[in-house]
Structure 1
Amino acid sequence: MAQLYYRYSTMNAGKSIELIKVAYNYEERGKHVLTLIPSVDDRYGVGLITSRIGLQREADIVNEDTNILDLFIQKNTDHPVDCVLIDECQFLKKHHVEELAEIVDSFEVPVLAYGLKNDFQNELFEGSYYMLAYADKIEEIKTICWCGRKATMVARLVNGNIVKQGEQIVIGGNDMYVSLCRKHYNDGRLGPDR
């Protein structure tokens, strides 16, 4: 039975590489995969899912007004889609998450969505909120803080210092964000000497 999966973590936990691996596994067995990425994440180019270790995969772009269900139906008409994979699902809108749930419920196709849960202020993104509400299975992908504890927070850096105010969505990589445990996020510590 198909399900809607929400696989979340902080940054640098391997979400994108996991998605690329799942897509490869499906395709290696002759299955068709629909991969999606929100247009707001253009760090490595538009329509590209890119892992920090350098692997890339092309993906269909989801804009704010994209109807994912319609896109799925169109692609499914060309050839049956066996799985839907979406990266950076925290950037989805409520209607997107509802459309993903409809794909699972009406077409019996599994949907695996990967993304952050909370932002740099420890607030849920819209997509994260609705993934938590609609997902059949919620799974954490773990990574660690500099101290070795599990990282659960994402800190935003400006000029090498943690900031806790600003726009919710500012696209960036290791130069702007670091994953920390709750203690070091709250303390504002980026390492043993800082």
Structure 2
Amino acid sequence: MPSLHFRYSAMNAGKSTYLLQVAHNYKENGMDVLLLTSALDGRDGYGVIASRIGLKAEATTYSAETDFDELLQDVNVACVLVDEAQFLSAPQVHQLHKWVHTQKTPVMCFGIRSDFRGEPFPGSATLLALADSLEEIKTICQCGKKATMNIRTDEKGLRVSEGDQVLVGGNNRYRQVCAKCFYN
């Protein structure tokens, strides 16, 4: 039975690489997939899913205004893969959940659970509540422990503890850390 999957981790764990590998596996077996990524992230160009190890693929972008009931209305694919799923709204996650179970097509969402303050993203919180399958993708903190949190840094590399929840950036802006390092 098709499921809504949520694959989550701290920053820099390989979520986009994992997504692109799943897409490759489907395509290698002659099946079509729909790749979706947030319109907020243009670091590698808008409509591009890119991993830090150099893998890339074109994707359809979604925004806060995207109606997934409408977007997926005539889609006929073996799987839908969603990158940067933390940027989904709660209603969008509900739409995806409904689509999975009415259209019998799996959806795999990849994203981070919480922001640099330890606060959940609405999309991630709703995915944690509704997903039929949850998987943590593990990565490590600079101290060697499992990283579960994210911190934001400024241009000088100093930790930032206030600001908007969303500020798109990569290694130049964020680091993954364990809970102990998050609180120290």
* TM-score w.r.t. length of structure 2: 0.97
Following superposition, the deviation at residue 82 of structure 1 comes to 0.7
- Amino acid of the residue matched to residue 56 of structure 2? Q
Instruction: Describe how 1:107-126 pairs up with structure 2 within 5 A.
Output: 107-126=103-122
Instruction: Describe how 1:14-25 pairs up with structure 2 within 5 A.
Output: 14-25=14-25
- 2:177 counterpart of 1:180: yes
Following superposition, the deviation at residue 99 of structure 1 comes to 1.2
Instruction: Describe how 1:25-174 pairs up with structure 2 within 5 A.
Output: 25-74=25-74, 76=75, 80-158=76-154, 159-174=156-171
Following superposition, the deviation at residue 86 of structure 1 comes to 0.2
Following superposition, the deviation at residue 85 of structure 1 comes to 0.3
Q: Distance in 1 between matches of 2:42 and 2:18?
A: 19
Q: Deviations over 1:116-155 (max 9, x none)?
A: 0000000000111111111111110000001110001101
Q: What is the number of residues matched between the two proteins?
A: 183
Q: CA RMSD in A?
A: 0.8
Please list every run of 5 or more consecutive structure 2 residues that lacks an aligned counterpart in the other structure. none
Q: Distance in 2 between matches of 1:181 and 1:146?
A: 8
Please list every run of 5 or more consecutive structure 1 residues that lacks an aligned counterpart in the other structure. 188-194
Q: Distance in 1 between matches of 2:45 and 2:90?
A: 25
Following superposition, the deviation at residue 69 of structure 1 comes to 2.5
* TM-score w.r.t. length of structure 1: 0.92
- Amino acid of the residue matched to residue 132 of structure 1? L
Q: Distance in 2 between matches of 1:16 and 1:162?
A: 25
Q: Distance in 2 between matches of 1:17 and 1:73?
A: 28
Following superposition, the deviation at residue 66 of structure 1 comes to 1.0
Q: Identity of aligned pairs, percent?
A: 46
